[in-house]
Amino acid sequence: MSYSHHSEQHYIHRTGWLRAAVLGANDGIISVTSLIMGMAASGASTQTLLITCVAGLISGASSMAAGEYISVKSQVDIEKADLHMEARELERNPRHELKELTQIYVMRGLKPELAHEVAVQLTANNALEAHARDEIGIHENTAANPLQAAGSSALAFSLGALFPMFSILISPEQYVATAVMIVGVLSLVALGAVSSHFAGTSMLKGSLRVTLWGILAMAFASAIGSLFNVSTF
């Protein structure tokens, strides 16, 4: 009897880069589009809007990269500290740690005898890995990667910010605000659908969720911008 190798590709493997990419693209579209709409509502010229868009793209991408790196690096530091603590406890009190691991498996539904046997075998194979995975919740599939998160976020923000910039370049001056708004909304619809596809969830719900919050943010920025008029300064 022959067995074919079957390996399922779970969505959890995409957590590291997908979260940062979606956050970056969403922020790039919403923040830069909102910024341009607010400036346009104040009466700024097309040239001013374009310069503002470029500045928003550069500063936003840099900020997202730095923020993601610092945030994820902090997570990595916490994970390393926990692993160091667990390694020290395994060395000082291996019996207690074995009982602790056994109890975890009992709470997950195994009978005490089987739970003990599983704990013994996993401890013999790699005690620290077993405790990291089953006690602390650290797994290689979801391990944080600061550089990956920073790069994904910065690149996604830049791509998201290109949409309002493109709409400024192709639209007549009197329709800039409208074009930016329409392109921004369509971009959010596409982002919600694409991110939901990679996450394995409903594309419709994802699009509605991302688009709704984006429209609210853009409407707020436009309303604030309309309170000012550059011609009066």
| In the predicted structure, residue 84 carries a pLDDT above the cut 50 | yes
User: Residues 105, 215: one domain?
Assistant: no
User: Residues 46, 150: one domain?
Assistant: yes
% residues pLDDT > 70 (the chain): 85
User: Residues 217, 156: one domain?
Assistant: yes
User: Residues 157, 178: one domain?
Assistant: yes
CA dihedral 66, 147, 151, 188 (to 10 degrees): -80
pLDDT tens column, 160-172: 999 999 999 888 8
Closest Cα partner for 201 from 12, 8, 17?
A: 12
Lowest mean pLDDT among 24-33, 72-81, 82-91, 190-199: 190-199
92: confidence class by pLDDT, cuts 50, 70, 90? very high
Q: How many domains does the chain have?
A: 2
User: Residues 114, 214: one domain?
Assistant: no
User: Residues 53, 151: one domain?
Assistant: yes
| In the predicted structure, residue 39 carries a pLDDT above the cut 60 | yes
Looking at residue 43, what is its pLDDT?
Answer: 80
Alpha-carbon gap, residue 43 to 205, rounded angstroms: 36
For 162-190, b/e burial (b = at least 16 CB within 10 A) is: bbbbebbeebeeeebbebbbebbbebbbb
3: confidence class by pLDDT, cuts 50, 70, 90? very low
Residue at 81 is within a domain = no
User: Residues 61, 91: one domain?
Assistant: no
Domain region containing 124? 87-136
Residue at 102 is within a domain = yes
